[in-house]
Amino acid sequence: MKKYILAVLVDNKPGVLTHVSGLISRRAFNIESISAGYTEEPSVTRINIVVSVENENELDQVVNQLSKLIDVIKIVNLSKAPSIERELVMIKVKASKENRADLVNVVNIFRANIVDVTSENVVIEMTGNQGKIDALCEVLSDYEIVEIARTGAIALSRGPIPVKKM
């Protein structure tokens, strides 16, 4: 299975997310993450989808089926263009007096931040690509992870040309 990140520009109208997520599930496509947010144009929402597919044919199916939705304006496969990918994660870890210094070391090595501290736990925040976040989670699994919240990946193309003009 190979992962691709798709930037999907859609009309900012009610029901759009249902149309997109409904299509993905009824066509039995595998998605790793989906996130949506406002853009520079108030009438446009950008949905970032990470799909995992067996082959290029399946990827074409995902793109072509999504393109059929009336409210989808544009889809660009950013994995095929020079692009920057980021994801935000927040991780709540149990931290005692004994191991807190250790944890701070890990956080510094990953250039993550501690955004909340109590006597029993810390909340670590980091942005990065999915690989880096997976690596942090892996290291932190030596400690007791209480919970994790991840946004799913988002991406932008490098250079001056925006997705809507690609």
Partner 1 sequence: MKMNGAQAVLECLRKEGVDLIFGYPGGVVLKLYDEIYKENFPHILTGHEQGAVHAADGYARATGKVGVVIATSGPGAANLITGIATANMDSIPIVCITGQVANPAIGKDSFQEVDVCGITTPITKHNYLVKNVKELPRVIKEAFFIARTGRPGPVSIDVAADVFNTEFDFNYPEEIKLRGYSGKYIGDSSEIDEVISAIEKSEKPIIFYGGGVTLSDTSEELRKIAQKLGCPITSTIMGLGCIDANEKNYLHFAGMHGSYGANMAIQESDLIIAIGMRFSDRVTGRVADFAPNAKIVHFEIDPAEFNKNVRVDYKVLGDLRWSLPIFREKLNSIQKDFAAKYKNWTQSVLEKAATHPFSYQNEGDQIKPGALIIKINELSDENTIAVTDVGQHQMWAAQFFKTHQPRNFLTSGGLGTMGYGLPAAMGAKLGCPDKKVILFTGDGSIMMNIQELATIADHDIDLKVIIVHNFILGMVGQWQRLFYNHHYSQSELKGKRDFVKIAEAMGVKGYRLEKSEQLETDLPKILSEKGCAVIDVIIPEEENVLPMVPGGKRLDQMLLGTN
Here's the x/- map for partner 1, 3-42, by CB under 8 A: it reads as -------xx--xx--xx--xx--x----------------
**Count of other CB atoms within 10 angstroms of residue 49:** 24
- Smaller CB separation from partner 1, 22 or 131: 22
Q: Which of 28, 40, 42, 68 binds partner 1 (CB under 8 A)?
A: 68
Q: Which of 30, 32, 52, 71 binds partner 1 (CB under 8 A)?
A: 71
- Smaller CB separation from partner 1, 17 or 145: 17
DSSP state of 28: T
- Smaller CB separation from partner 1, 26 or 97: 26
Contacts (Cβ under 8 Å, ≥6 apart) of 149: 89, 90
User: How far apart (Å, rounded) are the C-alpha atoms in residues 87 and 150?
Assistant: 7
Question: Is 162 in a helix, a strand, or coil?
Answer: coil
